[in-house]
Amino acid sequence: MKFVDEAEITVEAGNGGSGCLSFRREKYIEKGGPDGGDGGDGGSVFLVGDIALNTLVDFRFQPRYRAQSGKAGQGSNCTGSRGKDLVIQVPVGTSVIDVNTEELIADIRGPDKPVKVAQGGYHGLGNARFKSSTNRAPRKITSGSEGEERTLQLQLRLVADVGLLGFPNAGKSTLVRSVSAAKPKVADYPFTTLIPSLGVVSIDLERNFVIADIPGLIEGASDGAGLGFRFLRHLSRTSLLLHLVDALPVDQSDPVDEAKKIITELEKFSPTLADKERWLVINKVDLLSEDMIRQLEEDLRKELNWELPIYKVSAINNKGCPSLMRALMDRVENHRLKLNDSEDYRAQQNEKEKLLAFEIRRKIERSESLEVYENDMLE
C-alpha cells in the first residue's frame, strides 16, 4: 500500500430538520389546537483513531464526507428522527488542521476518544411550541440550522519515541533491523529508504520503545531537496533524536562536515526541531582503527562544540547497540514519567509540538509554491 502522510478532506455535518405546521383534526373534536412537532438534530462528524491504519491514502480517493440530516417534524406532536453521526477512522498520530483558520483542531493520539470536527445543525421548532393563552392557533415554525462544513488537512505524524537523523547510507535502516524486528530495505546505494518505517525495541519484559527511520537528509533539504524533507514531521513527536554519523562515507567525504550539514539543514528547516534533544552516534566503527575513531570523536566535539556523550556502534554486527538501546530506554521512560506526573511539562511539550507542526506546514507550503512557480517558468 502506498504511504501517504497528508490529505485534505471536506466534512459536512447534517442539517437540522424543520418544525412542522399542523393542527389537530379528529372527528368529534372541534377546533383542535396546534400539534406540529419539532424536527430532528443533524448528525455530527467525528474522527477516531484506528491502530490498524498506517496511511492516509484512502482519503485521496474519497475527499468528501457528509453526516445524515435530521428529519422534519410531523403532526400529532411527532418529533423528526435525529440524523446519524458520521465516524471517520484515521491512523493514530493524525493531526487535524482547519485549512481556513489554520487552527489545530485535534491531535489523534489514541483509538479510544472520538473527536468532533463538525457540529450537526439544530432542530427547528413546530408550531405547537408557540401556543400560548393569547395565541391559540400559531402558524409560526422555525427551520433547522445548517450543519457545520469544514475543510480539514490531515497530517500523519508517526508516534515514535526516538527518531533517526542522518545522510543517506549512514546506516539508519541497518540499525533499525539490528535492534528491532522491523525489516526496512537495506542496500548499498543512497535513498534505499523511501518511506518512514517504525521498529519496536524491546529491552526487558514490558520495557520497550518505538524508533522511527525516515529517508536520509541531504544538503539543501531545508529548501525541498531530497526525500527526507517531507518526512521530517514524523520526528516531531519523538522525545529525542538520534543523529547517526557515517564513520566512513561511501563518497569519501568528511564525516564531520556531513554532521555539520545535517545540523545546519535542521536549523534552517525548523528551529523548534533543532532544539529537540539530540544524541550523537558514530556508526560503522568496525571499519576504523581505535586511533581513527578517537580522532573522529575529538574532531566532532571540537567542530560541533559537543559536550554530551558520543556513542560508537556498528549497526551491521550489533556492536555497541545494546548499551545504546538501554540508555535510550532509560531516557524515554524518564520522559514518559514527566508527561504523566507534571502538567506543566506536558503542556510545554504540547506547545512545542503545535509550534513544530506549524513551522513544518509553512515550510512545505512554501516549497510547493516555489515548485509550482518554477514549473510555470519552465513552461
The grid coordinates listed for 80 are 423528526
Domain 162-350+363-374 CATH (choose: 3.40.50.10540, 3.40.605.10, 3.40.50.300, 3.40.50.1360): 3.40.50.300
Q: What's the CA gap between 316 and 246, in Å, rounded?
A: 13
Instruction: Report the CATH fold assignment for 1-156.
Output: Spo0b-associated Gtp-binding Protein; Chain: A, (2.70.210)
Q: What is the pLDDT of residue 28?
A: 78
Decide: 17 and 69 in contact? Cβ < 8 Å.
Answer: yes
Q: What's the CA gap between 342 and 72, in Å, rounded?
A: 50
Give the helix/strand (H/E) hosting 341: helix 321-341
Q: Is 373 exposed, middle or buried (0-12, 13-18, 19+ CB in 10 A)?
A: exposed
**Closest to 34 (Cα-Cα) out of 83, 92, 74, 82:** 74
Per DSSP (E only), the strands in 52-206 are: 64-66, 86-91, 94-98, 104-108, 115-118, 149-156, 162-165, 197-204
Q: Order of strands across the sheet with 45-50? A: 86-91, 45-50, 115-118
Q: What percent of the chain has pLDDT over 70?
A: 83
**Closest to 237 (Cα-Cα) out of 363, 153, 376, 335:** 335
Q: What's the CA gap between 249 and 253, in Å, rounded?
A: 6
Q: What's the CA gap between 152 and 142, in Å, rounded?
A: 31
Residue with cell 508517526: 158
Q: What is the pLDDT of residue 336?
A: 82
Decide: 10 and 66 in contact? Cβ < 8 Å.
Answer: no
Domain positions in the chain: 1-156, 162-350+363-374
Decide: helix, strand or coil at residue 124. coil
Q: What's the CA gap between 126 and 105, in Å, rounded?
A: 35
**Closest to 160 (Cα-Cα) out of 338, 335, 358:** 335
User: Is the whole-model pTM more than 0.75?
Assistant: no
Q: List per-block mean pLDDT (blocks of 10 residues) for the chain, which spans 379 residues.
A: 73 95 84 90 94 82 94 93 94 86 82 90 94 90 94 82 81 84 62 67 83 67 53 73 84 83 80 84 89 90 88 89 91 84 78 70 60 42
pLDDT tens-digit map of 3-37: 567 889 999 999 999 999 999 888 877 778 899 99
CA atoms within 13 A on the CB side of 312: 16
